[in-house]
Amino acid sequence: MVPQPDSASPLGGAKVTRDPLSRGYFGLMNAAEAANHYFRKAARIMDVGERIETLLATPLREVKVQVSIELDSGEIRTFIGYRIQHDNSRGPMKGGLRYHPLVDQEDMVGQAALMTWKTAVVNVPYGGSKGGITCDPTAMSLKEVERLTRKFVDQIQDVIGPTRDIPAPDVNTNPQVMAWIMDQYSKYHGHSPAVVTGKPVDLYGSRGREAATGRGLLYVCREVLRDVGLPVKGARFAIQGFGNVGSHTARLVHEDGGRVVAVSDVHGGTKNASGLDVPALFEHVKRTGTVKDFPGGAACTNEELLAADCEVLVPAALGGALTARNAPDVKARILLEGANAPVDPEADEVLEKRGVLVVPDILANAGGVTVSYFEWVQNLQHLTWDEERVNAELEKVMKEAYERVATISRSRKLPLRTAAYVLAIGRVGKATVLRGI
């Protein structure tokens, strides 16, 4: 049901866009600055003190390696790879691996911290990390990407591992890349499927992982809508981005009776006030590779999408999509952060003042890392769960996390984002102190 792989990419479907969280692409702050801003805001409300604040904000380890490979042409090319390990007080560190021309150390530091807070919000026994290689995989052959991946594993195999740090797919990496990582790591350490998650289902991957982030968004959304007195059935959704997160969210919301009134991707958008025919939209994307020019809707720009008349806006494409410039135009009652850091801190303030309920990334899109945790558990126990079990366990985790965050938000009169950070910082801080500093 998901859009067909993009044949231009050797990794199939993983497109290089000037994406996510790249520094200042849409917003004024990069991911590191935004994560730090939200963290410090909550830490000060909690009055954790300067020393604990600095301790929690500082990454445990920042690894930067040279990855030299021979290209198909025979030329030797050197790439720079990173693995940033932010915190391990609650368990092995967990975070994606990104292949993108704009990967840099500072951005990775911010994203690693986000993972620490996200794993704590959903209470999976992990810390946070993130990594990447500064490269453009769309300009490389599959063999070159494989050589790059294996060489990178050679360089970092001593700092990752099932009990140390467990990578997963992120922008421009996919289950195939995870399979290579598992294979290469196992050459050093013996058979180790639990060293990465997001693997192919045929090679120790978990059922339900692919749709997990969108499914987690749906579960949280149901709770939020119930709290504001709106049923999902008939609620209008506008979704920016139609990749893994956006497309699964659209499909699941539609199956739940929601009305998807606008969607967009990097090429353009489509809208229909009475609700798009989502299965027909998937057929269109399968044929053309984009939601643009869908016959069942009218053309819609990204700016129009963000300002769409709807109950729920889901930015599921880029970091920094909402800024002080366009946040005043948002008409949605609820903004569900599908992407990481789609709302910059200035926009966050504007939305709060305007009464838009923002459901933060570290809660809303945590379904992916939660099912990654289930995959790791299955690998360690050498067994396989069926999809019903994965989805049922995911629902439990997402509901519980939302309930905890909403309770803090109500009792301390805090926005959901600050409440989520308060929950996460409390959990990470407690583990840090109990272990001993």
Q: How many residues bind ligand NAD (CB under 6 A)?
A: 26
Q: Of the candidates 123, 197, 206, 302, which one interacts with ligand NAD according to CB under 6 A?
A: 302
Q: Is 97 in the site for ligand NAD (CB under 6 A)?
A: no
DSSP 278-320: HHHHHHHHHHHSSSTT-TTSEEE-HHHHHT-S-SEEEE-S-TT
Distance separating alpha carbons of residues 211 and 217, to the nearest angstrom? 10
Helix axes 105-121, 31-46, angle to 10 degrees: 40
Max CA distance (Å), the chain: 63
Rounded least distance, CB 110 to ligand NAD, Å: 12
- Give the residue with the Cβ less far from ligand NAD, 95 or 429: 95
User: Which of 15, 94, 118, 130 is an active site residue?
Assistant: 130
When asked if residue 213 is in the footprint of ligand NAD (CB under 6 A), the reply is yes
Coil/strand/helix, residue 133? strand
Cα-based angle 88, 373, 20 (whole degrees, multiple of 5): 80
**By CB under 6 A, which span of 85-93, 101-109, 332-340, 401-409 interacts with ligand NAD?**
332-340
219 scored as a contact of ligand NAD (CB under 6 A): no
Q: Of residues 20, 131, 132, 208, which one binds ligand NAD by CB under 6 A?
A: 20
Binders of ligand NAD among 254-293, rule CB under 6 A?
A: 264-266
> Would you count residue 330 as binding ligand NAD (CB under 6 A)?
no
130 in active site? yes
Which positions ≥6 away from 411 have C-beta within 8 Å?
none
Cα distances from 249 to residues 227, 265, 295, 314, 402, in angstroms, run 20, 14, 21, 9, 18
Element of type H or E holding 240:
strand 236-240
Site string for ligand NAD, 162-191 (x = CB under 6 A): --------xx--------------------
By beta carbon distance, the residue nearest ligand NAD is: 243
Work out how close the CB of 154 gets to ligand NAD at its nearest, in angstroms, rounded to a whole number: 26
Q: Is 108 in the site for ligand NAD (CB under 6 A)?
A: no
Among 38, 99, 204, 242, binds ligand NAD (CB under 6 A): 242
Q: What are the angstrom distances between the C-alpha of 394 and each of 138, 165, 188, 375, 399?
A: 33, 22, 33, 12, 9
Report the residue number, 243 or 429, with the smaller CB distance to ligand NAD. 243
Q: Residues 361-390 vs ligand NAD: string with x where CB under 6 A?
A: ----x--x----------------------
241 touches ligand NAD by CB under 6 A: yes
Residue 260, token pair as written in the block? 């998807």
Determine the length of the chain. 437
The residue assigned the tokens 């195999």 is 157
Residue 267 CA neighbour count, 13 Å, CB half: 12
Binding residues for ligand NAD (CB under 6 A): 15, 17, 20, 170-171, 213, 240-246, 264-266, 302, 316-319, 338-340, 365, 368
Which residues are the active-site residues? 130
